[in-house]
Each structure stands twice: as structure tokens, then as C-alpha cells.
Amino acid sequence: MKDVKSKPPADSDAKGDSETANRRRVGRVVHDDRGWASVEWQDAPENYVRPVLELETGATTQTRLKSVRSNAPPANSKKDAFNPYQRAAADGPAGGGTRRDLRKLSKWIKMMREIEERKVLDKEEAEKAREE
């Protein structure tokens, strides 16, 4: 059975010359004038030491987990959090108010148009009377 954890041996011919293969680079995130992020790569200095990432096991991990759990908010506080899908219904009708009778609305609109037409006709008749 193969050992999955080990890397295959590096082929020096596939990577090119040894100088570019051993080149170490450091990436830095930069933002342009629009706010878009991109990575800017720079050659690492000779004395640059990479941070080592390790998995923690043992007592230190357990104490950190316990401290995180003890600082966690109580479970019943989730009920107080805002959830738009579980909010209580507002007082009053669900439609946002009383229903409107559209027939009455159309009658009112017709009446307002007639009043406007009468005003225009009255002004025209008044101007004709002045001219005579």
C-alpha cells in the first residue's frame, strides 16, 4: 500500500534550472483604487523564516476549547436574535391595511376628471366673454 502522506520525489528536469526551482517568494494582498484585491509577489529575503503551521493536540487544545465554550452565549439567546422568517405577525390585517374598493376609486377618478374639464371649460367661456 502507498504512503499517501509522503510527497513524490521532485524531478529536477521538469522544474527547470535549480535557481528558479529554489526561489522563495512572499505574497502580499494589495487593493487597487476600486477596492479589488490582488496578490503581489516579491522575492523573499535571504534571512526570511516562514511561520510553521502545526496542529495542536493535547492539554493546550482542550483548555482553549473549554475557554471558548465557556465564553459562548447561552442557547436561549438565539430566540432573541432577529430572524425574518420567524418573526411574530404584526398587529392588524396581514395585507398592510384595509381593503380598498376599486369601483369607488374609479368613480372618484372619473369625477375628478370631470371637475378638471369643467374648470377648463369655465376658463375658456370667461375669456370669450371678456373678448366680446
pTM of the entire predicted model = 0.27
DSSP string, 66-128: HHHHHHSPPGGGGGGS--TTSPPPPSS-TTSS----HHHHHHHHHHHHHHHHHHHHHHHHHHH
pLDDT confidence of residue 108: 95
pLDDT confidence of residue 70: 74
pLDDT of 103 higher than 80:
yes
* Domain boundaries along the sequence of the chain: 102-132
pLDDT of 3 higher than 70:
no
Comparison of pLDDT for 118 and 54, the residue scoring more? 118
Comparison of pLDDT for 78 and 131, the residue scoring more? 131
pLDDT band at 13 (very low <50, low <70, confident <90, very high): very low
Mean pLDDT, the chain, rounded, equals: 76
Render pLDDT for 14-68 as a digit per residue (tens, 0 to 9).
Answer: 445 555 556 788 888 999 999 999 999 988 888 888 878 877 777 777 777 777 6
- 40 contacts 28 by C-beta, under 8 angstroms: yes
Lowest mean pLDDT among 17-21, 79-83, 119-123: 17-21
pLDDT of 119 higher than 80:
yes
DSSP string, 12-70: HHHH-SHHHHT--EEEEEEE-TT--EEEEEEEPPTT--PPPP----SHHHHHHHHHHHH
pLDDT confidence of residue 40: 93
Cα(12)–Cα(9) distance, rounded to whole angstroms? 9
